[in-house]
């Protein structure tokens, strides 16, 4: 059993109770073939790159911190994802384009991820959530708190390997121990 099983079970139970969707037991949901859990790096709302576990179970997307097992962002229904945008020239990188309601809640239009399991994620979505559109691109129109800018996935390559590189807009990164920004 995964060390995240109990944490995911608790988060999913709480989410399903809020949305009145408790049709199956959560244990059965987590053991079904309709559940996916993969390691990712995530960026959302200009926050620090975070190592996380991305779980999709019963149509709910959950992100838990890899080290603390805390929920990074409030879980949301995959119906709130308009597109999964796959980076053409930046390996293992993608973005979930969020609908207006989730965008307003999180302050950003996209949840950007990097994962070595991107092919598995794509296959899972194609098999189970075929209404979710997949597209390939190298840039997205990223909206962070009402500021719309072009974001190129290859900008993620310029971040340091440490967990402390922060995306503040499409072209500016704040480096650890530095108050200056670096434009690309």
Domain that holds residue 48: 5-160
Residue 166 lies in a domain: no
Residue 43 lies in a domain: yes
Residue 167 lies in a domain: no
pLDDT at 73: 82
Statement: residue 29 has pLDDT above 50? yes
Statement: residue 8 has pLDDT above 90? no
Residue 34 lies in a domain: yes
Q: Which helix (H) or strand (E) holds 166?
A: strand 166-167
Total domain count, the chain: 1
Taking the complete model, does pTM exceed 0.75, yes or no? no
Statement: residue 46 has pLDDT above 70? no
pLDDT at 81: 93
For position 61, which CATH number holds?
2.30.29.30
Residue 24 lies in a domain: yes
Contacts of 156 (CB under 8 A, 6+ apart): 43, 90, 93, 112, 114
């Amino acid at each position: 059993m995964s060390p995240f099983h109990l944490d995911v079970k608790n988060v999913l139970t709480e989410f399903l109770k809020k949305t009145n969707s408790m049709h199956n037991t959560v244990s059965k949901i987590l053991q079904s073939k309709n559940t996916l859990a993969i390691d990712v790096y995530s960026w959302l709302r200009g926050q620090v790159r975070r190592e996380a576990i991305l779980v999709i179970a019963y149509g709910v997307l959950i992100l838990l911190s890899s080290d603390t097992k805390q929920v990074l962002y409030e879980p949301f229904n995959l119906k709130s994802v308009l597109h999964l945008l796959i980076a053409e020239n930046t390996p293992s990188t993608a973005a979930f384009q969020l609908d207006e309601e989730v965008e307003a809640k999180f302050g950003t239009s996209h949840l950007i991820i990097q994962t070595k399991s991107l092919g598995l994620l794509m296959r899972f979505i194609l098999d189970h959530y075929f209404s979710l559109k997949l597209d390939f691109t190298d840039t997205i129109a990223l909206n962070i708190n009402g500021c719309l800018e072009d974001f190129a996935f290859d900008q993620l390559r310029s971040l340091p390997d440490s967990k402390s590189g922060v995306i503040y807009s499409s072209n500016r990164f704040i480096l650890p121990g530095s108050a200056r920004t670096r434009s690309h």
